[in-house]
Amino acid sequence: MPAKYHIHMRRVPPRFSPLAKNTIIDWGEGCLRCARCVKEQCPVDAYRKRGFDRSQFVDTIDEMCRDCYRCVQGCPRELIYKAGNPQYRHLGDEYWTPEILAATWYQAETGKIPVSGAGYGGPFTGPGFDSIWTDMSEIVRPTRDGIHGREYISTSIDLGRKPMFLTFDEQGELAWSVPPLLELPLPILLAQPSLGASPRGMQEIIVQAAHHLGTLALLARDRLVPVPAEAVGLLMPSYSTGSLNLDDPLLSQVRALEILDQPGVLEQVEALKKRYPEVIVSIKVPGDEKVVTRVAELTAAGAEIIHIYASERARGLGEFQDLHLKDLIRRCHLRLVEDQLRDTVTLLVSGGIALAEHVAKAIICGADGIIADLPLLLALECRLCRQCTKGGKCPVEIDQLNVKRGAQRLVNLMGAWNNQLLEILGAMGMREVRRLRGEVGRAMFLEDLEKEIFAPLFAQREGELKREPT
């Protein structure tokens, strides 16, 4: 029996205090000097351990505080308050919310699944990926010894062209050679984010993390750092328009590469495959208004992997700028199902994949795997201030980050994501992530529910008097 895939996680403390959601306001003036002060009764001893973060000018009490409100309720003079932290609220943007940043930091630090206890007070639905509810019907019937037990749940995916049938010659041998296939132990590839204070350092971190995880590191060929020999097999160089040179020595060492979709791309792939038949080629296609037809054309022409990329906020490009990535994937997937070609090609998607559940939801919509980019930067404590794009100084000094430490944080994040994927698969009663692909029967889409259930329920019957608000 092959060894189970296991991600080795190890706590990597942050170099900078993570900004807390809430902050303590401590009015010392007027203190009664009680014999037993509420501050001494703090369960995490935050008042004694508090310090001052000289790089961020913040009181470190907030990162230790667990929001139990014991001190707030216990102080007889009511001198302690808790309030929302405006510095936390200003993090990120409308898509990359402070909650996403904080959850990513937590996972990168601990490798644990973020759990919010004491009830959930937030909304149960929202735009984009939040409008998909996954099936958890089997959660009441767990396997004998949990999701990490003997009943193995596989998160492996296959990259490459899959033949729909085999033919054999008179001797019973395969009549043609089967296209190369690459099995990844988790449905996530690591790619370099478009921003960051240290692109070269980031590449080294991604290469090392990919080597630990056994997945591919998708990096731009033209700015590639020297890659250690043991990690080069998991490198997936990405070639921009016109930059592919068949004499590139890297081509004989890698197992997969990526080319940007352009006129004549199929001829380029053909020439490449003639010389390097074992290399799997991915074609990177923009998620614009032509994506569905282009994906169908490329698949019919024999493409092995198609990488559909959307915007950083999980929206399409060009005329599809209002279309969410989930709908983009769904349309491409259904078109390939219609053409009876879906199983032949591997669909990878990127752009706006921010949380672990987005991985599962993108796969439910029809992707085989996802490519993570910006969350990798967030895992390195990025505040998403975008100062690096303006030539400013990185507030968390990502350019000075140790490669080993950074790689472990990425491994932790991917470990936490993988465990969440296992939780979802376990709750669905599934044993394979490959089976989740396009499995919309195991999810509910808010748009469909509104159309099929709520619209008829709340529709006004003909001739019915409209109730006026009182």
Partner 1 sequence: MEVVVFACQQAVPDPEALKTLWGLSEVRLRVLAEPCSSKVEAFQLLRALATPVDLVWVIGCEESLCRFSEGSHRAGNRMAYTKKYLGEIGLEPARVARSVVTPGDQSALAAIVSEIQDRFQALGPSPLRRAPDAAARRSAP
Q: Which residues are near partner 1 by CB under 8 A?
A: 23, 25-29, 52, 54, 57-59, 81, 83-87, 90
Sign of CA dihedral 302, 222, 214, 362: negative
What single string gives the DSSP state of each residue in 414-432?
A: HHHHHHHHHHHHHHHT-SB
* Nearest approach, Cβ of residue 195 and partner 1 (Å): 19
Instruction: Residue 207: name the closest of 403, 349, 401, 398 by CA.
Output: 403
Q: Return the structure tokens found at 391.
A: 């030539």
Beta-bridge partners for 220: 238
Rounded-to-integer distance, Cα 378 and Cα 101, Å: 7
Nearer to partner 1, 59 or 289 (CB): 59
DSSP label at residue 8:
-
* Nearest approach, Cβ of residue 63 and partner 1 (Å): 15
DSSP label at residue 127:
S
* Nearest approach, Cβ of residue 62 and partner 1 (Å): 10
Nearer to partner 1, 59 or 399 (CB): 59
Nearer to partner 1, 57 or 124 (CB): 57
Could you give the count of Cα atoms lying within 13 Å of 176 in the half-sphere of its Cβ? Answer: 7
| Pairing status of strand 443-445 against strand 58-59 | unpaired
What letter represents residue 368's amino acid? D
Nearer to partner 1, 30 or 249 (CB): 30
Measure CA 405 to chain center. Answer: 20
Nearer to partner 1, 23 or 350 (CB): 23
* Nearest approach, Cβ of residue 57 and partner 1 (Å): 6
* Nearest approach, Cβ of residue 100 and partner 1 (Å): 20
Nearer to partner 1, 75 or 372 (CB): 75
- Dmax of the chain from CA atoms? 97
